[in-house]
Amino acid sequence: MRHALSIEPMPTSRQRPADCAEPAPYLQISDLWKTYGDFVALRDISLSIARGEFICFLGPSGCGKTTLLRAIAGLDLQTRGIILQDGRNISTLPASSRDYGIVFQSYALFPNLTIEQNIAFGLENTGRSKAGVAARVAELLEMVGLSAHGKKYPAQLSGGQQQRIALARAIAISPGLLLLDEPLSALDAKVRVHLRHEIKALQRKLGVTTIMVTHDQEEALAMADRIVVMNHGVIEQVGPPTEIYRHPETLFVADFIGETNQFPASVLRDGEVEIGHSAFCCSTEDFSAGHAATAVVRPVDIIPHGADAHAANASDRPATPQNLIDAEVREMEFLGMFWRTRLTAPRLGERTLVADFSVNAVRRLRIETGGAIQVEIPRERLLLYPRGA
Amino acid sequence: MNMVLEAPHLPVIGKRLRQEASGDDRIKLGFMAVIGLYLIVALGAPLFVMLSKSLSTHRFDLAAFEFQVSDETGANWGPVVSAADLNRQLEAVAESELSSSSDGRLAATKFFPEFKFRSPVHYRIRGTTDDAAFLVGSTLEKGTEWREYDSGTFRRVVLRPTRSLGFENFATYFSTPALARSIYNSVLMAAISTVFTVSIAFALAYGLTRSCMPLKGLFRGILTIPILVPSLLPGIALVYLFGNQGIFRDWLLGYSIYGPIGIVIGSIFFTLPHAFLIILTALSVADARHYEAAASLKASKWRTFTTVTVPGARYGIVSAAFVVFTLVITDFGLPKVIGGQYGMLAVDIYKQVIGQQNFEMGAVVSVILLVPAVLAFVVDQHMQKRQVALLSARAVPYSPKPNMRMDGLCLAFACLVSLFILGMIAMCQIAAVVKFWPYDLTLTTKNFAFDLMDGGGWAAYGNSIRLALLTALFGSVVVFAGAYMVEKADGFRFGRGLFHFLAMMPMAVPGMVLGLAYIFFFNNPANPLHAIYGTMTILVVSTVTHFYTVAHLTALTALKQMDPEFESVAASLKQPFHRLLFRVTVPVCLPAILNIAIYLFVNAMTTVSAVVFLYATDTKLASVAVLNMDDAGDIAPAAAMGMMIFYTNVVAKLVHALIARGLLARTQAWR
């Protein structure tokens, strides 16, 4: 998981069209609540999803993301609220009358049926001819690259293969909506990364509107057109991965996605905050002077400074570095793609600053444990949130 | 920004949404109602009727009837007198005769010693309360209106007792020393048998799981044999071995086998497999890591045994103890055969009902018998809930290391117990095929000429096979469908909970009690289901119900192992539930269903307790024939019939194993 944090999420090809006249959303959820006795699992959720979009519900366990998915599927009815799918009110329809395919974390493949029979399960009984069903099954097997395994039983396949069969079974009936409930979390790390590309490619090819529930931020960043970050039954932020990563709207989102350094801070005047014992430049809109805040900066955003002026992201920085501080390297941890360092800086007070430096930078600037360096906290990467939020 | 800081949200107001029911839901609901109704009719209602029966007393309330007698002309009426006053003057009916049963009748003419048939005198009768009832011939009259009869008709007027609720029956029961003594006897016998059985079962299970003794599979097979025979059979074997003509009679040092000794030995025989299997399961889930930890801490063998082995199997031991206790206290066959004059509760019910036709007292004993059984059941359920937390998914299976002394000891003990079990069976086998044990050991088949004796003959054996097959077939379907509803139906929470509770109840209801409850419920002409009384149907229904719980739990366990999302997937693929049920759920659960079928078959062959009240002349059963032939003194034929049941069950087990293997090869290729 670590290595991906050092890489900026790739902008995805299917961004939401900017500001042109939007077509009616494919799926619209309004004022949705789900309560279990006194416990509120979903609190006033409203969300629009466009046709063909790939949406991820992301959040820690218990945040309500699976509950929301199951409400959309009609498996656990919401307490209140309306769900419109393609203009049709499906709020209270039974699951079997809705239009979706679903893949579960457990795959839920029928163990006593062969792969072919599993995929054909939803196709039989629908007025198709035997040959028609067989052709469709062959096509789907081809699509997920498992044509050779049709006669086998699920238990004879690997986890990744089983998951692809579950996917094939779900899309066999050409549903308008594809629901994926933590589809990859039972798999090995390698298979997971591989399969996530495959699912994404398949989704793009079919153009089917897809909602995936995950607690794995890396997965969400890599796959989603838009991410819906949830916590304690509410939506914290909705947006494309880059926006979620770069401009988290709440401290929770900042903290949940990627790593953060957090410092107590207070706003001195417009454009300046006090952290520890000294002032730092940053954007202070929404805050007035004297306001207590939490200042957040990501370890990857901290820039090491040395003699070399032609550093990799030189173009990102203003000519004269602001927020430049002297620091001492206390610990260094080699994590393969980069070094994680723990720094102490008199200007920041007692707190440790975690910074991730590229292997290159460490070599070039001769950063070593016990050494002194200068680091820059870029003005635009220092984010402020209300204290205690 | 700052979405989290928004003001507290609106409370949820307005109507809760309700999901529209799909066609499937309606079918499921209907299905569930049918099966729920089955359990209510087959269990809840009969038990309720029995309970109310035990609390009702019937008594002739003489103050409730008034008479008027005319003169010879039939036109002038004398004074109004109550039956109570008349009785005071005449003492026609003794006080004790006023206590009656639900069928009690008292002739009105008893109060008129001068009554003459075909005299011109007319009689009037009325009740003083609305409930006062009397019969004229077979017509029921009720109420406070005067009714006038000529002497010819008045002869046919009989008073009916009034029913009142109360604990009088129980008071009578406890003031009858012989009956109340049975409670003490039953508890004592059950407690002693429990101590012996559980100790023996634990030692055996310990040997099979913790030592390297040879022939474990063989011993396991031998130890389960007693399940295949009726509990009467060890009684018969004991009669042959230690009875008045028994070869080992002297071993008892003058004590009689008829009574406590016989009951305890026989109980150990027939309860051993149950206790053994439970403790075996509890010991098999041992975690090797605990033993490694104990060894690394240099704990002695004994310390390891007391701190690791015993606590690990604690719940198994307690559970086994309760099962044995309940089995012994509710068993009827064994004490009937070997109990002699030693009163036991279950036998009391039989004697009260069959011997004395005293149904109310039978109901009272039943209720008393329910108490320990229900208590044991509740405690056991509680223990089982805690057992779950004990198992960890990461446990490493324990494999014992060879130890000559230990292994030899375990083998010797297993041999000894096997000898006991095989000896009892062999004794019955020998008794069944020789002319007159132990004096004339010529081989003969005369003991199998059942048609020459009382008890039902070969027809009874045929009936038993029919009952067993029907129970296995009908029972597996009902049980599996019920468990499917409990586990897989969504919604109807309350209904499912209630159904599960009803399904768990038969475990706590002794067969005798169930049988008696069936008499009360189904032998009531007012019951629309009266028609099944005395038929094979009622035997099947009672047997399925009697053995419902274990079968239900087996089905439930199998269903719980299935992915709960299968139903969701099928719904998303717009497939009806029955397609998933027959394509996936049933095939995957087939091994469990077959186990349920054989369990029901074997028990239907051996059971005596519930059906002994319910069979009719054309539905006599083999197990009941064993009882009746033994009762009539035809002990050798009884042993022969008992062995027929044993052979049948062995064959059934073999057939089951074959079918299971064949079907599994076809439908469970994925395993």
Closest-CA residue of chain B to A247: B1
Backbone φ and ψ of A101, nearest 5°: -115, 150
Fold match between A9-100+175-256 and A261-380? no
**CB–CB contact A104 B569 (8 Å):** yes
Question: CB within 8 A of B633, min separation 6: which ones?
Answer: none
Which chain A residues are within 8 Å of B584, Cβ to Cβ? 110, 112-113
Across the range B592-602, mean pLDDT stands at 94
Q: Cβ contacts (< 8 Å) between A170 and chain B: which residues?
A: 569, 572
**Cβ-defined contact of B17 to A78 (cutoff 8 Å):** yes
Q: In the predicted model, is pLDDT for residue B382 greater than 80?
A: no
Cis peptide before B46 (omega within 30 of 0): no
Q: Give me the domains of chain B, ranges plus CATH numbers.
A: 61-161 (no CATH), 176-444 (1.10.3720.10), 450-667 (1.10.3720.10)
Give yes or no for A106 touching B (CB within 8 A).
yes
Sign of the CA dihedral running A168, A170, A174, A178: negative
Q: Which of B361, B619, B629, B586 is nearest to B479 (CA)?
A: B586
Q: Rounded mean pLDDT of B58-84?
A: 84
The fold of the A261-380 domain, in CATH, is OB fold (Dihydrolipoamide Acetyltransferase, E2P) (2.40.50)
- Residues forming a β-bridge with A339: A334, A357
Q: Is the pLDDT of residue B4 over 70?
A: no
Yes or no, beta carbons of A111 and B588 under 8 Å apart: yes
Angstroms from A38 CA to nearest CA on chain B: 10
The distance of B661 to chain A (nearest Cα, Å) reads: 16
Min Cα separation A75/chain B (Å):
7
Mean residue pLDDT across chain B? 85
pLDDT band at A22 (very low <50, low <70, confident <90, very high): low
> A96 and B574: CB-CB below 8 Å?
yes
pLDDT band with cut points at 50, 70 and 90 for residue B669:
low
CB of B58 within 8 A of CB of B83? no
**Would you say residue B7 has pLDDT above 70?**
no
Residues A262, B175: Cα–Cα separation, whole Å: 82
Q: Please tell me the predicted confidence (pLDDT) of residue A16.
A: 45
Q: With an 8 Å Cβ cutoff, are B588 and A386 in contact?
A: no
Is A235 touching B (CB cutoff 8 A)?
yes
Q: Above 0.85 for ipTM, yes or no?
A: no
Q: Taking a C-beta distance cutoff of 8 angstroms, is the pair A271, A281 a contact?
A: yes
Spatial contact of A172 and A117, defined as CB atoms under 8 Å apart? no
Question: Contact B18/A153, CB-based, under 8 Å?
Answer: no
Residues in contact with A270: Cβ distance below 8 Å, sequence separation at least 6, in sequence order: A284, A289
A326 by DSSP, 3-state: which?
Answer: strand
* Nearest chain A Cα distance for residue B356, angstroms: 57
Chain A neighbors of B668, CB-CB under 8 A: 112
Determine, for residues A95 and B21 on separate chains, whether the beta-carbon distance falls below 8 Å. no
Question: Could you tell me which chain A residue has the CA closest to the CA of B589?
Answer: A112
Closest in B2, B568, B575 to A386, CB measured: B2
Q: How many CB atoms lie within 10 A of CB B258?
A: 20
> Confidence band (pLDDT; 50, 70, 90) for B490?
low
Q: Which residues of B touch A249 (CB under 8 A)?
A: 1-3
Minimal Cα distance from A104: which residue of B?
Answer: B565
Q: Per-residue pLDDT averaged across B183-187, rounded?
A: 90
pLDDT at A210 over 90: yes
Q: What is the pLDDT of residues A132-147, one digit of tens each?
A: 999 999 999 998 989 9
B329: pLDDT strictly greater than 80: yes
Task: Assess whether pLDDT exceeds 90 at residue B476.
Answer: yes
Q: How confident is the model at residue A349 (pLDDT cuts 50, 70, 90)?
A: confident
Mean per-residue pLDDT of chain A:
86
**Could you tell me the two tokens for B216?**
């474990």
Of B392, B505, B498, B450, residue with least CA distance to B629: B450
Share of chain B above pLDDT 90, in %: 25
Distance CA B344, CA B186 (A): 5
For B140-161, the pLDDT digits (tens) are: 888 888 888 888 888 888 888 8
Alpha-helical regions (H) of A207-333: 217-223, 241-246, 251-256
CB contact under 8 Å between B565 and A106, yes or no, is yes
Chain B residues with at least one Cβ partner in A under 8 Å: 1-5, 9-10, 12, 14, 16-22, 24-25, 563, 565-566, 568-576, 579, 583-584, 587-588, 667-671
Contacts of B571 in chain A (CB under 8 A): 74-75, 94-96
Query: How many angstroms away from the CA of A369 is the closest CA of chain B?
Result: 39
What is the reported pLDDT for A388?
60
CB distance B574–A389 less than 8 Å?
Answer: no
Span A208-213, average pLDDT: 95
Per-residue model confidence (pLDDT) at position A34: 93
The C-alpha atoms of residue A76 and residue A71 are separated, in whole angstroms, by 5
Q: CB-CB: which of B17, B563, B579 is closest to A79?
A: B17
Q: How confident is the model at residue B39 (pLDDT cuts 50, 70, 90)?
A: confident
> Which residue among A77, A125, A252 sits closest to B4, beta carbon to beta carbon?
A252
What is the per-residue pLDDT for A3? 42
pLDDT at B8: 41
Length of chain A: 389
pLDDT band for position B12 (cuts 50, 70, 90): very low
| Interfacial A residues in 294-323 facing B (CB < 8 Å) | none
Give the list of residues 6+ apart from residue B146 with CB closer than 8 angstroms, or none: B68, B124, B125, B126
Give residues 151 to 170 of A whose Cβ lies within 8 Å of B.
153-156, 169-170
Point out which residues pair with A333 in neighbouring strands: A340
Q: What pLDDT sits at residue A297? A: 93
Binned at pLDDT 50, 70 and 90, residue A326 comes out as confident
Q: Name the most confidently modeled range: A63-67, B124-128, B158-162, B344-348.
A: A63-67
Cα of B583 to nearest chain A Cα, Å: 8
pLDDT tens across A233-292, in order? 999 999 999 999 989 999 999 999 988 999 999 888 888 888 888 889 888 887 888 888
Which of B70, B147, B65 is closest to B106 using CA atoms? B65
For chain A, the domains span 9-100+175-256, 261-380
What pLDDT does B15 receive? Answer: 65
Q: How many Å apart are CA A282 and CA A134, to the nearest integer?
A: 63
Across the interface, of A40, A125, A154, the residue whose CB is closest to B575 is A125
Sheet strand arrangement including A324-334: A303-305, A372-376, A324-334, A338-344, A352-358
3-state secondary structure of B557: helix
A250–B1 C-beta distance less than 8 A:
yes
What are the Cα distances from residue B216, in Å, to A257, B205, B413, B586? Answer: 58, 10, 12, 33
- CB contacts, 8 Å: B563 with chain A: 104, 106, 108
No. of helices (H) and no. of strands (E), chain A: 10, 20
User: What is the CATH T-level fold of the domain A9-100+175-256, as seen in this structure?
Assistant: Rossmann fold (3.40.50)
Determine contact, residues B399/B207, Cβ cutoff 8 Å: no
pLDDT tens column, B347-366? 888 888 888 788 888 888 88
Contact by Cβ (8 Å): A372, A326: yes
Mean pLDDT, residues A155-181 taken together: 92
Dihedral sign from CA coordinates of B111, B116, B118, B123: negative
* Residue pair A187/A214 in contact by the 8 Å Cβ criterion: no
Which of A44, A80, A173 shows the shortest C-beta gap to B573?
Answer: A173
Average pLDDT value for residue range B156-182: 83
Interface check for A43 against chain B (CB to CB < 8 A): the answer is yes
Sign of CA dihedral B158, B159, B160, B161: negative
Q: In this complex, do B12 and A79 lie within 8 Å of one another by their Cβ atoms?
A: yes
